[in-house]
Amino acid sequence: MEQKLHGKIALVTGASSGIGRAIARRLVAGGCKVVLSGRNEERLQALANQLDGSAIAAPQDLSQQSDITSSLDLAQSEYGKLDILVLNAGLFSNDPFAEEDVEISQRMIDVNFSSVVQLTHAALPLLKQQDRSEILAIGSIAGVSDMRNEAVYSATKHALNAFLRSLRRQVSENGIRVTSILPGTVATELWGLTEKTEIAELVTKCEVLRAEDVANIAEFVLTQPPNVAIRELVVLPHAQDI
């Protein structure tokens, strides 16, 4: 797969942990240079150091409108182009809506949907400069199912799907592929899962996906030949009953 990704420039949001970090690692292993976007500057810099010159940290808070394009500006100034935009950053809450702090609800809307619209809009001119480029969004099974106690989160993921389905039809003539990966439960901090032994046990029971599983699928999507377009890919733990 290295040849297909070699020399490409990618921006990965939510890269400080979980799926975003795993995808960043896979892209670098495939020969990409990666801009690492996220809120935790210390973690981003540590990951950039581990990736040994193939990645740069771009700390940003996607809930703040003034900060949304800062990682894209860094990609342009550092590398002069963008081939792959990975829209992975997200916030999650599964409190019953009546009990959920409305500020948390608004932050989910801002990060999970509004920032995606704004960052994608700003990135399109750069992506259109390439003969072939990619927009890869990490959505959620909540975007195609109505999950109990995830009213606002599910709404943001449904909105994300609708946006990407329409965008896909608008930019295909520009050589831009738009793909959504819709995972079920992934063993990440989003679900409070960080302990390796616990994660390994849940994986053995087929109750969760690893972040690396999603990263493998991301690599599969991004290395398809130009005539292949994958609109959406739902991936679940085998034992998840949805």
Tokens 């739902």 locate to 234
Paired tokens of 179 = 């793909």
Q: Please name which of 164, 158, 160, 214 lies closest in space to residue 185, comparing C-alpha atoms.
A: 214
Quote the longest CA-to-CA distance of the chain. 51
Inter-residue contact 205 to 185 (CB < 8 Å) = no
How far is residue 225's CA from residue 197's CA, in Å, rounded to a whole number? 38
* Residue 153 designated active-site: yes
* SS3 label, residue 56: strand
Whole-angstrom CA distances from 147 to 80, 93, 98, 150 are 41, 11, 15, 6
Paired tokens of 184 = 């079920």
Options 79, 92, 113, 153, the catalytic residue: 153
What order do you get walking across the sheet with 55-59 strand by strand?
Answer: 55-59, 33-38, 9-12, 84-87, 133-138, 176-183, 232-235
How far is residue 141's CA from residue 236's CA, in Å, rounded to a whole number? 8
Inter-residue contact 66 to 74 (CB < 8 Å) = no
What b/e sequence results for 19-51 when a residue is b if at least 16 CB atoms lie within 10 Å of its CB, and e otherwise?
Answer: bbbbbbbbbbebebbbbbbbbeeebbbebbeeb
Q: Which residues are part of the catalytic machinery? A: 153
